[in-house]
C-alpha cells in the first residue's frame, strides 16, 4: 500500500473513474512536493496533476478525487486539508500507524475550502 511505503511521511495521489458517478476505477500515485513538513502536510506535484488529468482525459475518465495518508494520526480531515479542498471531489484519508494502514475515511467539501461532510466509502 502506498501509505505504508511512504511512512512516516504523508503520501498522496489522485483517484480516477468514469464520468457521472463517484466510482474510482484507478488510483494514480503522485509526488508530495512538501519537504519540511512531510509528516503532516502534502501538496501534489503540479506536473503529476497535469499528467494524470491528461491520462484520464485520453481514457475518457474523470478525476474523482484525491487521497493522502496521515502518519500516526486519525483518518480525519485536518484544518489544512479542509481549507485546501475543492467542492465536488472526494477526499480519502488513510491513517497509517507504525507503517501499517489502520483506517480510512472519505469526505466531500460542500464548497471550496470546506466544510467537509463524510462520504460513504466502499472498497471492493
Tell me which of 5, 10, 83, 122 is the catalytic residue: 10
Q: What is the CATH number of the domain that holds 15?
A: 3.40.140.10
Clarify whether 10 is annotated catalytic: yes
* Band of pLDDT at residue 122, cut at 50, 70 and 90: confident
Domain count, the chain: 1
What is the grid cell recorded at 25?
476505477
Which domain range does residue 88 map to? 2-119
pLDDT per position as a tens digit, 24-60: 999 999 999 998 888 999 999 999 999 999 999 999 9
Can you give the pLDDT at residue 68? 97
In a domain, 124, yes or no: no
Q: Is residue 86 part of a domain?
A: yes
Instruction: Examine residue 53 and state whether it is found in any structural domain, yes or no.
Output: yes
In 24-80 the beta strands, taken as DSSP E runs, fall at 26-30, 62-71
Residue 35, pLDDT score:
87
Q: Of 64, 92, 115, 83, which Cα lies nearest the Cα of 1?
A: 92
In a domain, 36, yes or no: yes
pLDDT in tens, 66-77: 999 999 999 999
Closest CA to 43 of 3, 14, 74: 14
Amino acid at each position: 500500500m502506498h501509505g505504508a511505503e511512504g511512512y512516516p511521511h504523508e503520501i498522496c495521489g489522485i483517484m480516477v473513474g468514469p464520468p457521472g458517478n463517484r466510482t474510482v476505477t484507478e488510483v494514480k500515485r503522485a509526488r508530495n512536493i512538501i519537504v519540511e513538513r512531510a509528516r503532516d502536510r502534502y501538496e501534489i506535484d503540479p506536473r503529476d496533476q497535469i499528467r494524470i488529468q491528461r491520462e484520464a482525459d485520453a481514457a475518457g475518465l474523470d478525476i474523482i478525487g484525491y487521497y493522502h495518508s496521515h502518519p500516526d494520526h486519525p483518518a480525519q480531515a485536518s484544518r489544512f486539508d479542509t481549507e485546501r479542498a475543492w467542492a465536488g471531489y472526494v477526499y480519502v484519508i488513510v491513517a497509517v500507524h507504525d507503517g501499517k494502514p489502520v483506517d480510512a475515511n472519505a469526505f466531500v467539501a460542500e464548497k471550496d475550502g470546506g466544510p467537509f461532510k463524510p462520504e460513504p466509502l466502499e472498497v471492493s
